[in-house]
Amino acid sequence: MISQYIVNGLLTGGLYACLAVGFSLVWGVLNVVNMLHGSMVVLGAYFCLYGVQQLGLPLYAVAPVACVILFVFGYAIQRGLLNRVITQPILITLTLTFGLDLIVNNLIIHVFSATPQSLVTNFGTIEFAGVRVPVVRVGGMLVAVVLTLVLYWLLRHSKIGRAIIAVRMDRHAAALMGIRIPHIYALTFGIGAFMAGAAGCAMALIYPVTPMMSGVFLGKAFVICVLGGLGSVPGAIIGGLVLGVVEGLGTLTLGQQWATSVGFIMMMAVIVLFPTGIMGKKGYE
């Protein structure tokens, strides 16, 4: 019984990691809390659904295209809109992305529709040691985790990835080193959108997705990002898995309706208990 919940939690957690990693990267590197992230996940899911159901294309062809469209969308939003206010106080950037979220979400409802949609997939289930899991969930989770790991590898080993990390650590020094900050910002936001799209595609395979779910997705991203640490890819994976399992166990002990609250309360506890670790060092000179 417990093992079933833990396995379910881990499977969900893998998806969560993919869902949160882009949000975390944007927060860590750009210092922007991207309220638009949830809608980008939904957008990814809907592109995927549209390609498969309306155009009749195979999933493996549609999903990458959906992600790339989101990358372009994210790059454009950052380059065209967010870069202009990136030096403003937090309240401004947060509110701006919230406004954009309202617009995008409204557009999704109009262009697609508000009714829940899901890809009808049945790849059967596998059973192991008394734990039953649908194959599609394992697949979705694996794809999500592998993508997240690829992102991690790219950040460490590609030229652009290292530039992103340099900007995250010290943007002033990075600028002096000749890194084009506006471009790096836009790339980072684009990557965040790409990962959101990937998470959306994986979600569409498993859950019926509606535009209303953007808030839920955003909430998960918040929690994971705070649990795992800003802008940290491994942190997002760990945070995602922890959240998945904690929600699973919360469901088991308190009931389904409390699962989300448990995550939020855990996040608030982390924020409150580790303010210095999160706020960084203080200096008085």
Partner 1 sequence: MIIDRAFALKIAFGVLLFACGAGLSAVLDNYYLQVGTTLAMLCALCWAWNIVGGYMGYPALCMISFFGIGAYAGGIAQAAGVSESLAWLIAAGVGALFALLLGVPLLRLKGHYFAVGTIASVEVLREVANNWEQLTGGAVGLNLPIHAGSPDEVGRFFYLAMLGLAFLAFLITALVDRTKFGFGLRCIRQNEQAASMVGIDVFKYKVGAFVLTGVLGAATGAIYASMVAFLEPKDAFNLIMTIEIPVMVMLGGMGTIFGPLIGGVSYVILKEFVWAYFINWHSGILGLIVVTVIYFLPVGVLGLTWRDIFKKLGASKSTRPATSDIARSTS
Residues that bind partner 1 (CB under 8 A): 27, 31, 33, 81, 83-92, 94-96, 98-107, 110, 171-172, 174-176, 180-182, 185, 215, 219, 222, 226, 257-258, 260-261, 264-265, 267-268, 271-272, 275, 278-280, 284
- To partner 1, the closest distance from the beta carbon of 42 in angstroms equals 14
H helices of 158-213, where? 159-169, 171-176, 181-206
* Per-residue DSSP letter, 128: E
* Per-residue DSSP letter, 117: B
Cβ proximity to partner 1: between 196 and 266 the closer is 266
- To partner 1, the closest distance from the beta carbon of 218 in angstroms equals 10
Q: Which residues are CB-neighbours of 221 under 8 A, at least 6 positions away? A: 19, 20, 23, 24, 37, 38
Cβ proximity to partner 1: between 136 and 216 the closer is 216
Chain center to CA of 246: 18
8 Å CB contact between 171 and 49: no
8 Å CB contact between 216 and 260: yes
- To partner 1, the closest distance from the beta carbon of 172 in angstroms equals 5
Cβ proximity to partner 1: between 63 and 226 the closer is 226
- To partner 1, the closest distance from the beta carbon of 147 in angstroms equals 25
Cβ proximity to partner 1: between 8 and 93 the closer is 93
Cβ proximity to partner 1: between 56 and 280 the closer is 280
- To partner 1, the closest distance from the beta carbon of 80 in angstroms equals 10
Q: What is the DSSP string of 203-223?
A: HHHHS-B-GGGHHHHHHHHHH
